[in-house]
Amino acid sequence: MQENRTEDAGGVVEAASSASTTSHSLIDDATEYISLNFSDANALAMRVWMSLRRTSNIVFYDLQASLREHRSVTPPTLILLLILDMFSPLEYRELTRISGMNRAAISPHIENLSKRKLIRRKPSPRDRRTEIIEMTEAGRAAFAEAFTVYNERAEYWADNLTVEERSELSRLLEKLVSNVPPDEDTRSGEIEL
């Protein structure tokens, strides 16, 4: 259940109405604060959510920074390149569906990648409204290089968990959103990086 680590020195809690506890982290404090002051609220649900947000943001900031040094690929384009690397000749609208990115958000990235010859755009023989996006060799190389850097940082963070814990974490995360219909308008994609 709850681990008890007493080696903390945070201590900004003096103004909190529930001060003078052995403070482990501010998430602990916030969870306790919520359960005490908002009796109708679900404190454990908030704890899950606060942990999720905090972990996601910390790791994402770090991974993003790892890409910044290699200026060739930015985070939003990395996921597009992954999807294209998997499904290379792909219609534009499939790219938006799988990535979950807004089509208005995707548009400039496609334009940019096309200019840099990392992808190729071809008219679709089936529907003149849409386009077919294709990876170039340069695109595959750029993706492989950026992805390697990205993955190294992901591995650095994952090393904090055992292999069993990693699997369990993935399972729980995927179960948490298992009730999302596949094409729900969640502004969120099937794959994200």
Partner DNA sequence: CCACAAAGGTCAAGACCTGAACCATTCAGA
Partner DNA sequence: TCTGAATGGTTCAGGTCTTGACCTTTGTGG
- The least distance separating DNA from the CB of residue 91, rounded to whole angstroms, comes to 6
With contacts defined by CB under 8 A, how many residues of the chain interact with its own copies? Answer: 94
Of residues 105 and 169, the one with the C-beta less far from DNA: 105
State yes or no: residue 74 binds DNA (CB under 7 A). yes
State yes or no: residue 173 binds its own copies (CB under 8 A). yes
- The least distance separating its own copies from the CB of residue 49, rounded to whole angstroms, comes to 5
How would you class 67 by CB atoms within 10 Å of its CB: exposed for 0-12, middle for 13-18, buried for 19 or more?
A: buried
Distance, CA of 101 to CA of 95 (rounded, Å): 8
- The least distance separating its own copies from the CB of residue 112, rounded to whole angstroms, comes to 22
Distance, CA of 41 to CA of 44 (rounded, Å): 9
The interface with its own copies within residues 46-105 (CB under 8 A) comprises 46-63, 82, 85-91, 94, 98, 100
Helix H segments across 40-74?
A: 43-68
- The least distance separating DNA from the CB of residue 162, rounded to whole angstroms, comes to 30
Of residues 61 and 157, the one with the C-beta less far from DNA: 61
Helix H segments across 14-136?
A: 26-37, 43-68, 75-87, 92-99, 103-115
The interface with DNA within residues 80-139 (CB under 7 A) comprises 91-93, 96, 101-111, 127-131
For CA atoms 182, 64, 72, 114, the dihedral sign is positive
